[in-house]
Amino acid sequence: MDFVTICQKARQESGVAGEGPSSVVGQTGILAKIVNRVAQGWVEIQASQMYWKFLRSQLVNFPLVIGQRIYTMQTALPAGFGTQFIDKFDPENSYIYTTSTEDETKLRWFSYSDFRQRYRTFPSGRPTACAVGLDGTVVFNTTPDRAYVINLDFWETPELLANNADIPALPEQFHWVLVWKAVMMFAGSVMATDLFSYANVMYNPLYSKLCIDQLDEVPGQRKNYPLAGRGSGRPEFGR
């Protein structure tokens, strides 16, 4: 289902009379509230877990620039990448090679504090380690002397729904989890306890199935990931 269809389902299940919304743009009153609850609910669902499969992506065959050790995400993301942004990198799936994957080696991630303590000078050479800087930049432990190529797995920041045709990234069989989340949020705002209870009963088992199907494995069972650009809105991947 697309965004506007999910909003229509949420209105129906909320018991709001009438039709629509015919569009997610320009609504007022109760229909605007429905649209906002769906959009907000989708962000909350995505933020409820750290590593969803449907938010996993890759930065593939990105060439480093000779002499450039620090990168912003905006310069790293290929053209046409769209509105997806990097939230955290997967330290178990980050690699670098020279001219082909035959000489590919793993990049080691450090926390920024450990990186600063370990690397105080930055000679030219092939990077072997990296970290996310305080300003959301990605920094390497050496200054590239060749146009090395990197492949990085990462998780995206929560997707935003804004247009009628926007379709949530999760598998379609779970789109109703957005509907029931929005109904719960709407019911809570109008003190409709019976409606809230009913929507909650419908939501919980579907959300549980979503978690079983779409929660990604924690690489190495690690508790911490290199976080990208927190605290400054959308992240930037260096300078």
Write down the pLDDT at residue 77: 55
| 94 and 177 co-located in one domain | no
Which range of residues forms the domain containing residue 211?
3-51+159-219
89 versus 196: the higher-pLDDT residue is 196
| 12 and 28 co-located in one domain | yes
- Assess if residue 235 is contained within a domain: no
Determine the average pLDDT of the residues in 33-58. Answer: 94
| 24 and 113 co-located in one domain | no
- Assess if residue 28 is contained within a domain: yes
- Assess if residue 38 is contained within a domain: yes
pLDDT of 208 strictly over 70: yes
Write down the pLDDT at residue 11: 96
pLDDT of 73 strictly over 80: no
| 164 and 193 co-located in one domain | yes
| 61 and 92 co-located in one domain | yes
201 versus 237: the higher-pLDDT residue is 201
- Assess if residue 72 is contained within a domain: yes
| 170 and 213 co-located in one domain | yes
CATH of the domain at 116: 2.40.30
- Assess if residue 236 is contained within a domain: no
- Assess if residue 238 is contained within a domain: no
Q: Mean of the per-residue pLDDT values for the chain? A: 87
3-class secondary structure for the chain? CCHHHHHHHHHHHCCCCCCCCCCCCCCCHHHHHHHHHHHHHHHHHHHCCCCEHHHEEEEEEEECCCCCCEECHHHHCCCCCCCCCEEEEEEEEEEEECCCHHHCEECEECCHHHHHHHCCCCCEECCCEEEECCCCCEEECCEECCCCEEEEEEEECCCCCCCCCCCCCCCHHHCHHHHHHHHHHHHHHCCCHHHHHHHHHHHHHHHHHHHHHHECCCHHHCCCCCECCCCCCCCCCCC
| 101 and 180 co-located in one domain | no
pLDDT of 126 strictly over 90: yes
- Assess if residue 239 is contained within a domain: no
Q: Residue 96: pLDDT band by 50, 70, 90 thresholds?
A: very high
Q: Residue 72: pLDDT band by 50, 70, 90 thresholds?
A: confident
Write down the pLDDT at residue 237: 39
| 47 and 163 co-located in one domain | yes
Q: For residue range 163-179, list pLDDT tens digits in order.
A: 999 999 999 999 999 99
| 63 and 113 co-located in one domain | yes
**How many independent structural domains does the chain possess?**
2
| 149 and 65 co-located in one domain | yes
- Assess if residue 231 is contained within a domain: no
Write down the pLDDT at residue 83: 38
Q: What is the value of pTM for the model shown?
A: 0.81
